[in-house]
């Protein structure tokens, strides 16, 4: 089974959780409601994401891919660089290090898209999209810890706990505080 097929299988069997807890701590009280709020914010800026997608020769680049990455990396803040969430008007100091400064969110987004090769994607199957998104954050969860990435699966039955804190140390008992890409994609596409 390929990596893409594995992610497709996880997608096909994914269940969005009602809530996410860690012991007595409630991380998300209502995952669907939280995801709906995020999606509403994304849709308010759909034209902006489409404009970025249409800058490229590849007519297949999906606006919703840019939007989901924008949420995951920048919490939908247009003052941040799509590549890592740092301010786009300053040179980046974390991976990808040394990018920018940029004149606008759009200029930084175009840089990040090219840097990750997203402008060359032609396979838009959900398995491949999930594989690409996981790569955007890093394959460390699967490669080194044999678990599903919270970047994709947080808020679903495919993930329970563990994460890299701020691109740093791996913490096995730390639950993700973000809703994963798969939940958002389920609502957007």
Q: What is the dihedral of CA 23, 29, 31, 34, to 10 degrees?
A: -140
Other C-beta atoms closer than 10 Å to the C-beta of 26 total 11
Q: Which CB contacts under 8 angstroms, 24+ apart, belong to 30-37?
A: 31/155, 31/179, 31/183, 34/155, 34/179, 35/155, 35/179, 35/183, 35/184, 35/187, 36/187
pLDDT of residue 96: 95
pLDDT of residue 132: 96
Using CA of residue 179, residue 88, residue 124, residue 116, what is the dihedral sign? Answer: negative
How far is residue 101's CA from residue 92's CA, in Å, rounded to a whole number?
8
What end-to-end distance do the CA atoms of the chain give, in Å?
25
pLDDT of residue 167: 66
pTM recorded for the entire structure: 0.93
Per-10-residue mean pLDDT, the chain, length 189: 96 94 82 96 98 89 97 97 98 96 98 96 96 93 91 93 74 84 97
How far is residue 80's CA from residue 67's CA, in Å, rounded to a whole number?
13
């Amino acid at each position: 089974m390929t990596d893409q097929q594995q992610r497709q299988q996880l997608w096909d069997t994914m269940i969005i959780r009602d809530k996410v807890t860690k012991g007595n701590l409630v991380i998300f009280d209502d995952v669907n409601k939280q995801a709906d709020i995020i999606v509403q914010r994304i849709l308010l800026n759909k034209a902006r994401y489409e404009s970025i997608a249409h800058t490229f020769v590849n007519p297949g680049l999906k606006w919703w891919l840019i939007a989901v990455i924008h949420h995951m990396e920048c919490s939908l803040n247009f003052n941040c660089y799509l590549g890592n969430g740092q301010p786009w008007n300053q040179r980046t100091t974390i991976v990808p290090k040394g990018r920018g400064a940029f004149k606008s969110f759009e200029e930084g987004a175009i840089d990040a898209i090219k840097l990750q090769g997203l402008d060359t994607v032609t396979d838009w199957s959900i398995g491949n999209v999930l594989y690409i998104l996981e790569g955007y954050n890093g394959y460390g969860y699967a490669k080194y810890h044999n678990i599903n990435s919270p970047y994709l699966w947080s808020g679903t039955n495919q993930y329970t706990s563990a994460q890299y804190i701020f691109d740093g140390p791996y913490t096995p008992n730390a639950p993700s505080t973000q809703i994963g890409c798969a939940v958002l994609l389920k609502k957007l596409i």
